[in-house]
Amino acid sequence: MAQQSAVAPARAQRAETAPHGRYALPKGALLVAPAAIFLLACFVVPIAQMVGYSLTAHMDQGIAVPGLTTENYARLFRSNLYWVVLTRTLRIAAITSVICIPIAYPLAYVMARGSAFWSRLVMFTVISPLLVLVVVRAYGWKLILAKQGFLSWLLQNLGIAQAPPTLLYTEWAVIIASAHVFLPFLVLPVASAIGKIDLGVEDAARTLGADWRAVFWRVTVPLSLPGLAVGVTLVFSLTAASYVTPQILGGNFAAMLGTLVQQQVLSVNDWPFGAALATVLLIVTLVVNLVMLRLFERRFARWAGRGEAR
């Protein structure tokens, strides 16, 4: 009887995992299936079509010629213009990500450690811009950064500069607006990571004589690196792939790769070359994100190993 009672739970468990036969799928697969089908139909298939079109067609006197070819990518590497735009895109995305870090940490810390009132107020302040269209925010920054805009008026009336520098239609205009647009995507992951840090760890550091600066730099920041890695990659990817903000605030003087894709597809009607530009942007962004995640993981593992050794 004891042996039969021990075998019964194992049979019941196998029956739950395979209710309709020996080769039935687990229940988890049925739960994941809708999301997997959605990603396959709306993400994987369009990207595969884009990559395939960039390799199987090229323009000859305005007519798309089918056939396996790498002419679109060769054209990209032959012209110096596209290299300039690619490096500008990566530079703007990197500077925007770096600028967002010191702005995001105080906001994230208040959201995670502040009182209920201040936490909700900061969360509302951070999230509320997401409810406004990107076009509206871009035109708002255009009014602020214009030569006769609010920033110029403020600097002149404060006596800081009689002839303020022109920011509109420059890379800095795109960087400032991109930092404002994509800052929430860095604040929220960092706040989540800080909220998961045990308060006892910070209290132990204070007990050992560390002031608030040492606690922040040697405890809070290292333990929140996973959230920082996610946020930085999000800001970098969204900035590199943005189109509306660079088009309105940068124009042709600070064009990014997304602007060139739009021009090739809609203005020039060169879909194969536009697909090649979009594929290069996707690959470069993916490689940069993987490198950044790897660096953050190494730094976090090194810090965790140092803490265990102590």
Rounded to an integer, the average pLDDT of 116-120 is: 91
User: What is the per-residue burial (b if ≥16 Cβ within 10 Å, else e) of 90-111?
Assistant: bebbbbbbebbeeebbebbbbb
Q: Which residues contact 139 (CB under 8 A, 6 or more apart)?
A: 248
Please tell me the class of the 80-309 domain: mainly alpha
| Residue 308 pLDDT grade (very low, low, confident, very high; cuts 50, 70, 90) | low
Q: Where are the domains of the chain?
A: 80-309
66 phi and psi, to 5 degrees? -70, 160
Q: Give the mean model confidence (pLDDT) for residues 274-286.
A: 90
Among 104-108, 154-158, 286-290, the least confident range? 154-158
At residue 310 the predicted structure's pLDDT band, cuts being 50, 70 and 90, is low
Name the pTM for this structure. Answer: 0.82
d(CA 282, CA 257): 11
36/43 Cα distance (integer angstroms) = 10
Mean pLDDT of all residues in 292-309: 72
The tens digit of pLDDT for each residue in 36-84 reads: 899 899 889 989 988 888 888 766 666 667 778 888 888 888 888 888 9
**Contact residues for 300 (Cβ-Cβ < 8 A; gap 6+):** 222, 225, 226
Contact 107, 186 (CB under 8 A): no
Rounded distance between C-alpha atoms, residue 248 and residue 82, angstroms: 20
pLDDT for the residue 98: 94
**So what's the pLDDT on residue 17?**
47
User: What pLDDT was estimated at residue 175?
Assistant: 94
Whether pLDDT at 248 is above 50? yes
Structure tokens at 149: 């805009």
* Residue 279: per-residue pLDDT: 92
Decide if pLDDT at 158 tops 80: no
